[in-house]
Amino acid sequence: MKYCMKVVSIVLVFAFSFSLMVWSAGQAESEESVEITYWDLFEPSPNEEQPRAYALWEAFNLFEEKYPNIKVKAEAVPWGVIERKLIPMAASGETPDVVNVIRGLLALHVDAGTIAPIDKYVASWDSSDWMGGWEPMTIKGKIWGLPAEYRAQVMFEYRADFLKEAGLTVPTTWQDLAGAAKKLTTKTRRGFSIGASLKDTGLNLNELLMTLVWDAGGEIFDEDFNLLYDNEAGLEAFQMLYDLMHKYHAIDKTVLDEDYSTIHQAFVAGTLAMGTISSVRVGTIRKQGNLGENFQIAPLPSYKDGGLHGVGKPSPTLLDGWNHCLGKYAKHPEEAMLLMKWMSEPIVKIKYAKAGIVPPRYSVFKDPFFDQDTLQVRDLLTLKKYIGDYGKFVINPPWNTDYWKLVATEIQRMWLDQQTPQETLATIVKKYKADIMK
């Protein structure tokens, strides 16, 4: 018995010492290396069939080779969930080190205290290589992140095969578009659609409205988020939306059930000839519908009498996209900034370009990849020119979803002939000031 007890004691002492050694080694190891948390839409993956996940995987591998003491722990968070997850986390004093934030919701994140300004880190950087410089990321004089990509959030997209069949060219004015839409409409196909459903909080419709206001010479918000289109430009925009349905009959009431997803699916199914959705959907639509050259993009049509850039020039488009932001409570902000800087390097951006994502930096376009004459490269160069020459951005207020919903509901009311464009504009301005603006 005593002998057994001795053996057991010796074994326990060894086991304890061994555990202590392993734990100490772990501690020593963790003191040398740092782990930073990174939120993205995608989980990095070595599967080349998922281009964006693959680009992320390659980027992280190269980063960890360059900085062996920094490990990146990536977490995939769906785009609709980021705010719902991040804002409560920040309220309890925690955030990931780097998080992807969509531009449209940047002010919400600033207001909710989830992200930190990065002025001190980028002060010495040359912003001229970035499309739009730092302005799109600047709110109240501070810079809140680095663009990961740019997109034309409102882009004219069409089935080239249907237009060719009907003997039509790509319309450059809304009036031409209306004519084309009528010719392209059959019993099983609509000529043109826009997303006006509240399923996406009226986002698609609001984005189109912005481009119409800009093209009419107006602006959307000032620095304090007061509405600026309570004028001729705003009225012209609302009148055009009204005319698209009631004068030109380019759209019908089915648009009240349309959003990004249904327009996307309608293009794939061949039940839609033309539409306005984000440029980021192009690759997926082509792939899902096996459409190839039959699905094309073009700049947005403009007003017949000339828009912001003159007669015959396209309408401005909404510049949007995802951005790398520093978490407000980042545990390793210096290392996080190294990762953010790395993710914006041309060597990484070209990988995303191969996945169909428009790089936010001009220098990336010097890569030999862009010398190829492929559909994807042509699209990227078209977008680079369109965004570069005609892209405008907006800083949405933190209460954007209430505002978007208000605008979409009032425009629906206008389309259902319950109010005129003037009344619609007046109601939006009144309700925004009284009920929504903080």
Partner 1 sequence: MNRNRQKIFFGIGFLLPAIVLVSLIALYPVGYAIHVSLHETSYLKIGSFVGLKNYFTIFRSPEVFNSIKISCIYVFSSLALTIPLSVSIAMLLNRNRRSVNVFRVIILLPWVFSQCTAALLLAWLLNSSYGPVNYVLFTWGLDKINFFGDIKYALPSLIAVNVWWSYPLPTLFFLATLQSVPKDLYEVARIDGASGIECFMYITLPFLLNTLLVVLIMQTMLYFNMVTLVYVLTGGGPLATTETLAFKIFFETLFNIKMGHASALSVLLFLLNLFFATLYSFLLLKKEKLY
Q: Applying CB under 8 A, does 272 fall inside the site for partner 1?
A: yes
Min. distance of Cβ 269 from partner 1 in angstroms?
Answer: 4
Q: Applying CB under 8 A, does 293 fall inside the site for partner 1?
A: no
Min. distance of Cβ 234 from partner 1 in angstroms?
Answer: 21
Q: Applying CB under 8 A, does 362 fall inside the site for partner 1?
A: no
Q: Which of 188, 305, 310, 372 binds partner 1 (CB under 8 A)?
A: 188
The two three-digit tokens of residue 310, written as one number: 């003159």
Q: Which of 41, 76, 256, 437 binds partner 1 (CB under 8 A)?
A: 256
- The backbone region for 216, taken as left when phi is positive above 0, alpha when psi lies in -120 to 50, beta otherwise, is alpha
> Taking a C-beta distance cutoff of 8 angstroms, is the pair 82, 69 a contact?
no
Distances (CA, A) of 359 to 227, 365, 433: 31, 8, 37
Nearer of residues 34 and 406 to partner 1, judged by Cβ:
406
Distances (CA, A) of 200 to 52, 149, 318, 371, 414: 24, 22, 17, 38, 19
Q: Applying CB under 8 A, does 265 fall inside the site for partner 1?
A: yes
Stretch that binds partner 1, among 220-228, 234-242, 255-263, 360-368 (CB under 8 A): 255-263
Q: Which of 64, 129, 243, 402 binds partner 1 (CB under 8 A)?
A: 402
Q: Which residues contact 64 (CB under 8 A, 6 or more apart)?
A: 70, 71, 72
Distances (CA, A) of 9 to 15, 16, 92, 201: 10, 11, 45, 67
The two three-digit tokens of residue 318, written as one number: 């909404």
Stretch that binds partner 1, among 3-11, 59-67, 131-139, 396-404 (CB under 8 A): 396-404
Q: Which of 149, 157, 200, 207 binds partner 1 (CB under 8 A)?
A: 200
Q: Applying CB under 8 A, does 401 fall inside the site for partner 1?
A: yes
Rg value, the chain, Cα: 26
Q: Applying CB under 8 A, does 424 fall inside the site for partner 1?
A: no
Q: Applying CB under 8 A, does 201 fall inside the site for partner 1?
A: yes
* Binding track, positions 68-107, relative to partner 1; x by CB under 8 A: ---------------xx--xx--x----------------
Q: Which residues contact 205 (CB under 8 A, 6 or more apart)?
A: 194, 195, 196, 407, 408, 411
Start-to-end Cα distance in the chain:
79
Kindly list the residues in this chain that would bind partner 1 in the complex (CB under 8 A): 83-84, 87-88, 91, 111-113, 187-188, 190, 193, 197-201, 253-259, 262, 265-266, 269, 271-272, 399, 401-402, 405, 408-409, 412-413, 416, 435
